[in-house]
Amino acid sequence: MQEQWTTTIRPVSGWLNINLAELWRYRDLIALFVRRDFVASYKQTILGPLWFLIQPLFSTVVFTVIFGNIAKIPTDGLPPMLFYMAGIVSWNYFSSCMTNTANTFVANAGIFGKVYFPRLTVPVSVIIINLATFAIQFVLFLCILFYFTLKGAPVHISPWILLTPLLLLQMGILGLGIGIMVSSLTTKYRDLTFLVGFGTQLWMYATPIVYPMSQIPEKWRWLFALNPMAAVVETFRYAFLGVGVISTDVLAFSFGMTLLIFCIGVILFSRTEKTFMDTV
Amino acid sequence: MSDTVIKIENLSKEYRLGTINHGTLYRDLQSWSARIRGKEDPNSKIASAGFKVQIGSFMALDDISFEVKQGDVLGIVGRNGAGKSTLLKIISRVTMPTRGEVKIKGRVASLLEVGTGFHPELTGRENIYLNGAILGMTKKEIGRKFDEIVDFAEIENFIDTPVKRYSSGMYVRLAFAVAANLEPEILIIDEVLAVGDAQFQKKCLGKMEQVSTKQGRTVLFVSHNMAMITSLCTSAVLLDSGKLRVRGNTSDVVLSYYTQYSGSPASFDFRSSNKFIGDDHAMLISGSVVDSEGNVANEFDIRNPVTITMRYRVTRPDHYRFIPNFHFYAPDGTCAFISGPQEVTTESGEFEAVCTIPGNYLNDGTYFVGLALSSMETGVKAHFYEQNALSFNVKDPIDNVPTRNGYAGPIPGMIRPKLDWKIRGVA
């Protein structure tokens, strides 16, 4: 007689064990994780969610002073404030997606060791939180954009703006892909935690955030094609401010690379989640 | 459809001993490049000694098979490291088995350790939702159960207070309330009831019973507290170094837990094992539990007397006044009573001390006997004290037991003596 078992627990087999239906069943948990992290991070702070705005504003001011006024790096004829802010807001979103998911296993070892739920709920909820943070900062960016447009800055919004959701998706899955890849590897190699910290900073300077792509000599541009974030940031800036060097080829290539990184991350993650309790 | 809800087949879990890797990427790469070039691994600890040591492995679970029926409260007992937690971890899908499989019907929820899954900054209300969702409930289900959970945890007034301001007792109450009211088909409880006050413990036990008998849910319960196992579980398994030793009714398993682990038999003789317990003045030789016919036994009808005998030798009396004494303990480690003779000896030689506990005196259950020889001279001196040296089990056939008078339920207490009673009409 065939019996109806709801769960069968067997040794790990196969490469890909991601159960998307199960992840969907736990959507309430994802929502609650989002809420928890959002609420918890600003409880017992005086300014509360205002910090979401203060932080990019502050970075923008610092960049404007150092790179704009002191180093005098050109900004494609745009007001430096506006130029840096576009880069910072999008980079912040990507880098926090990456760094906040990079410690998934180690930071949650306690609860992962006690109870089962789809482990991907944790990094997915992190991405959603960052998306919300981005939304807040994006509104700030739009306000500043509006202000400078009123003052007559040479800004023109291009039709590429329609690509914004795709750009956000790409930054999200790129950050998630690298984050969960690192989090899987850190269960064995703790070194990577250090690497993530300063690697993120190096990566930022390898991305046209504090300088425009147009400043890069033509013969070196191919190097930037290898950095998927370069195309994304440059496109984002082109979409909203109307300046930048973009090409569909490079953007498509960066999207393909993002997907590849994401797939590797998911595979590593699904391998690790089954056994990491024995190695962590 | 059979009513088996958990089916465990040839389950094994193997852990590799020692370091799995060197922990840093640099060393792993170093070892790897040395291997490629055909050189000695610079990070191998045994390379310098010139011989290889097999990487050891350790079976946390070794070919375990058993089934659990719906509505069972299964006690899982065993010494530390016997594999209890590994078994629960596999059933709750925290880790994977190496071989074999577990089939489960229904949802499994574990009662989390105090505060796991609680966020200190969130309020009780938010944590109930969060914890419920971690245990696999949807928001709607939690909403339906919410009042019941709050009511059970007795935290109505603090429901909107961050849980970091809760007392540890409130924490546990909330955690238990969430897990127990979730209505999972299978509830896993790993020794958390030890926390919380006695009154709440009682409430939890009542809830567990209700969950299993009335709602037909299955409970897996791990504890070192044999009294709790005995009173709660309908059956039990005994694990020992990863192997399933006994699967059966609770009292049998509890008894084998004790006889196996504390080495408490119905009789022992140190003359055959060359074991020495004692000091300069006296030593323990042997001990046994015997029935009224003088046969060594470990099971007694509650109505029959139990006799404990102890042989010992006094080698150097030195004017001590020797008093043998027996210490009776319940499985949970509570002392039931201590008994000694009304006489003393002062000479050297071999002695046998015999103490008979009359029938209708002890309660049913397992008793452990510590054998001791003390002396009173200048202060009390213990020459030897062998804890849990002997054990025996008192069985209650329920029918025709005078101390029951027809009542069939469990009777608490360390002892259940038949005493002199008089009832007379006074008006």
Domain of residue B189, CATH code? 3.40.50.300
Q: Between A and B, how many CB-CB pairs are < 8 A?
A: 122
In A, what residues contact B, Cβ < 8 A? 1, 3-12, 26, 28-29, 31-33, 35-36, 39-40, 43-44, 110-117, 188-192, 274-275, 277-279
Q: Is A44 exposed, middle or buried (0-12, 13-18, 19+ CB in 10 A)?
A: exposed
**Looking at the structure, do residues B130 and B187 belong to the same domain, yes or no?**
yes
**Do the chains contact at B101 and A9, CB–CB below 8 Å?**
yes
In this prediction, residue B395 carries a pLDDT of: 85
pLDDT top residue among A126 and A194: A126
Residues 157-186 of B with CB under 8 A from A: 162
- Whether residue B35 lies inside any domain: the answer is no
Least CA distance to A115: which residue of chain B?
B94
Is the model's pLDDT at B381 over the cut of 80? Answer: yes
Of A35, A110, A115, the CB nearest to B110: A115
- Whether residue B414 lies inside any domain: the answer is no
Least CA distance to A3: which residue of chain B?
B1
Radius of gyration of chain A (CA): 21
**Looking at the structure, do residues B238 and B99 belong to the same domain, yes or no?**
yes
In this prediction, residue A204 carries a pLDDT of: 92
In this prediction, residue B192 carries a pLDDT of: 57
- Over range B335-350, report the average pLDDT: 92
- Whether residue B124 lies inside any domain: the answer is yes
**Looking at the structure, do residues B214 and B313 belong to the same domain, yes or no?**
no
**Do the chains contact at A36 and B119, CB–CB below 8 Å?**
yes
Is the model's pLDDT at B207 over the cut of 90? Answer: no
Q: Which residue has the tokens 């509104």?
A: A139
Mutation target for A interface from B1, B29, B96: give the one with most A CBs within 10 A.
B96
Q: How many domains does chain B have?
A: 2
**Looking at the structure, do residues B271 and B237 belong to the same domain, yes or no?**
no
Is the model's pLDDT at A126 over the cut of 70? Answer: yes
**Do the chains contact at A7 and B162, CB–CB below 8 Å?**
no
**Do the chains contact at B104 and A7, CB–CB below 8 Å?**
yes
- Over range B154-167, report the average pLDDT: 87
The shortest C-alpha distance from A6 to chain B (Å) reads: 5
**Looking at the structure, do residues B249 and B279 belong to the same domain, yes or no?**
no
**Looking at the structure, do residues B252 and B273 belong to the same domain, yes or no?**
no
Least confident among B164-173, B224-233, B369-378: B224-233
**Looking at the structure, do residues B105 and B234 belong to the same domain, yes or no?**
yes
**Looking at the structure, do residues B348 and B226 belong to the same domain, yes or no?**
no
Least confident among A69-78, B307-316, B414-423: A69-78
Of B99, B129, B136, the CB nearest to A11: B99
How much is the ipTM here?
Answer: 0.81
- Over range A52-77, report the average pLDDT: 88
Mutation target for B interface from A12, A34, A115: give the one with most B CBs within 10 A.
A115
- Whether residue B145 lies inside any domain: the answer is yes
In this prediction, residue B50 carries a pLDDT of: 38
The shortest C-alpha distance from A56 to chain B (Å) reads: 26
CA–CA distance, A167 with A144 (Å, rounded to integer): 21
pLDDT, tens only, A83-111:
999 999 999 999 999 999 998 888 888 88
Listed residues B261, B288, B318: the one ending a domain = B261
Q: Sheet harboring B322-329: ordered strands across?
A: B299-301, B379-395, B365-377, B322-329, B335-339
Domain extent, residue B159, equals 60-261
- Given pLDDT bands bounded at 50, 70 and 90, which one contains residue A165? very high
- Give the residue among A31, A33, A35, A148 at the shortest CA–CA distance from A85: A148
Locate the domains of chain A by residue range. Answer: 21-34+47-279
Is the model's pLDDT at A250 over the cut of 80? Answer: yes
Of A1, A6, A277, the CB nearest to B104: A6
**Looking at the structure, do residues B273 and B319 belong to the same domain, yes or no?**
yes
Mean pLDDT, chain A, as a whole number? Answer: 86
CA–CA distance, A213 with A217 (Å, rounded to integer): 9
- Whether residue B140 lies inside any domain: the answer is yes
**Looking at the structure, do residues B253 and B343 belong to the same domain, yes or no?**
no
**Do the chains contact at A36 and B95, CB–CB below 8 Å?**
no
Tell me, yes or no, if B22 comes closer than 8 A to chain A by beta carbon.
Answer: no
pLDDT, tens only, B69-122:
988 889 998 876 788 888 988 888 888 888 898 999 888 887 756 556 788 888
Instruction: Give the domain CATH number at B289.
Output: 2.70.50.60
In this prediction, residue B23 carries a pLDDT of: 55
Query: Which residues, other chains included, contact B121 with Cβ-Cβ below 8 Å and sequence gap of 6+?
Result: A39, A40, A43, A44, B162, B164
In this prediction, residue B42 carries a pLDDT of: 57
- Whether residue B323 lies inside any domain: the answer is yes
- Give the residue among B330, B60, B119, B87 at the shortest CA–CA distance from B190: B87
| Pairing, β B335-339 against β B322-329 | antiparallel
**Looking at the structure, do residues B136 and B227 belong to the same domain, yes or no?**
yes
Residues 89-128 of B with CB under 8 A from A: 89-108, 110, 112-113, 116-117, 119, 121-122, 126
- Over range B200-222, report the average pLDDT: 79
**Looking at the structure, do residues B364 and B254 belong to the same domain, yes or no?**
no
In this prediction, residue A75 carries a pLDDT of: 83
- Given pLDDT bands bounded at 50, 70 and 90, which one contains residue B184? confident
- Whether residue B28 lies inside any domain: the answer is no
- Whether residue B412 lies inside any domain: the answer is no
Listed residues B227, B261, B295: the one ending a domain = B261
Is the model's pLDDT at B309 over the cut of 90? Answer: yes
- Given pLDDT bands bounded at 50, 70 and 90, which one contains residue B41? low
**Do the chains contact at B24 and A189, CB–CB below 8 Å?**
yes
pLDDT, tens only, A136-155:
999 999 999 999 989 887 88
In this prediction, residue B48 carries a pLDDT of: 37
Cβ contact A34:A128 at 8 Å: yes
B69 bridge partner residues: B4
